[in-house]
């Protein structure tokens, strides 16, 4: 993974390259040209990343996207800026995921606890129209709770042929593994994380790369399949943590 930190500017200020962000991740008001990136638009972008992490799908890519056939620049502006509709908006069913086309969100959305669904609904329904309604995400406790809620759902996935193990690497001013080696999902114990320190992402990446080898974390016969790696992180702005 390459993280390009060019064009980072103070909260709400226009950067020298006039870059608003990546299509699909930018908040609607940036797409419409009404705002420069700021802490509230960062909240939208982070919500998109988290939704893709949990549901493996774009939060705005539903029936309206499929019916478009050809996604022109004008149509993308409409879908992501002018009239975006969350695929699970409880008050607007015009952009639901399509059976046979979008299997991931259809299958995964019902699995997650109500508080997580409500957080996404608040971010992508109310938050689309009112940026101040977006979740600022300062409660690391919500992350701890979400992980604890999801772990039981992972047990038994794939039946007896699947041996799922979990390893968690925390990184802030330094890094440390939650457990010294990967633990079976049936025996994995989540230890609550705190949001503190700075983000020593480079050192964490080197440590992760070192462990992802056949003579370390991937030494067991059951580790013959490439691991799935998920990254949770915090963003900072002049208004505080995002």
pLDDT value of position 54: 93
pLDDT of the residue at 59: 96
Look at residue 21 in the predicted model and tell me its pLDDT: 73
**Cα 21 → chain centroid:** 16
Burial of 159 (0-12, 13-18, 19+ CB in 10 A): exposed
Whole-angstrom distance, CA of residue 217 vs CA of residue 184: 12
Domain coordinates in residue numbering, the chain: 1-136, 161-242
| H-only helix segments in 171-240 | 201-211
Q: What is the pLDDT of residue 43?
A: 87
Rounded to 5 degrees, φ, ψ at 210 are -65, -40
What pLDDT, on a 0 to 100 scale, did the predictor assign at position 60? 94
Q: Which of 36, 32, 93 is nearest to 62 (CA)?
A: 93
Query: How high is the pLDDT of residue 70?
Result: 85
CB–CB of 156/111 below 8 Å? no
Largest CA distance in the chain: 55
- What integer pLDDT is reported at residue 13 of this predicted model? 59
Tokens representing 142? 């919500």
CA gap 141, 162 in Å, rounded: 30
Instruction: Look up the CATH architecture of domain 1-136.
Output: Orthogonal Bundle (1.10)
The tokens for 27 are 């908040």
Give, for all 242 residues of the chain, the pLDDT tens digit.
455 555 566 655 565 555 667 778 999 999 998 888 887 888 899 899 999 999 999 999 999 999 987 888 899 999 999 999 999 999 999 999 999 999 999 999 999 998 899 999 989 998 888 887 787 655 566 677 778 788 888 887 767 677 788 889 888 778 889 988 888 888 888 887 766 666 677 888 888 888 888 788 887 765 556 677 777 655 443 333 33
By three-state DSSP, how is residue 120 classified? helix
């Amino acid at each position: 993974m390459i993280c390009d930190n060019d064009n980072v500017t103070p909260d709400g200020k226009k950067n020298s390259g006039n870059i608003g962000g990546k299509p699909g991740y930018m908040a609607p008001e940036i797409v419409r040209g009404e705002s420069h990136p700021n802490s509230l638009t960062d909240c939208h972008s982070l919500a998109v990343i988290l939704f893709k992490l949990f549901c493996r799908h774009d939060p705005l890519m539903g029936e309206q996207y499929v019916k478009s056939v050809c996604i022109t620049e004008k149509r993308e502006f409409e879908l992501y800026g002018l009239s975006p509709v969350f695929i699970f908006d409880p008050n607007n069913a015009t952009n639901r995921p399509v059976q046979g086309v979008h299997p991931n969100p259809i299958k995964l959305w019902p699995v997650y606890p109500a508080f997580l669904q409500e957080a996404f609904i608040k971010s992508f329904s109310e938050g689309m129209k009112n940026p101040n309604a977006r979740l600022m995400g300062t409660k690391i406790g919500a992350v701890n709770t979400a992980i604890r809620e999801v772990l039981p759902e992972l047990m038994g996935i794939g039946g007896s042929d699947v041996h799922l193990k979990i390893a968690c690497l925390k990184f802030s001013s330094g890094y440390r593994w939650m457990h010294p080696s990967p633990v079976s999902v049936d025996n994995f114990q989540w230890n609550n994380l705190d949001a503190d320190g700075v983000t020593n992402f480079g050192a964490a990446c080197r440590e992760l790369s070192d462990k992802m080898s056949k003579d370390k974390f991937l030494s067991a016969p059951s580790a013959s399949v490439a691991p799935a790696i998920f990254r949770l992180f915090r963003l900072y702005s002049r208004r505080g943590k995002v």
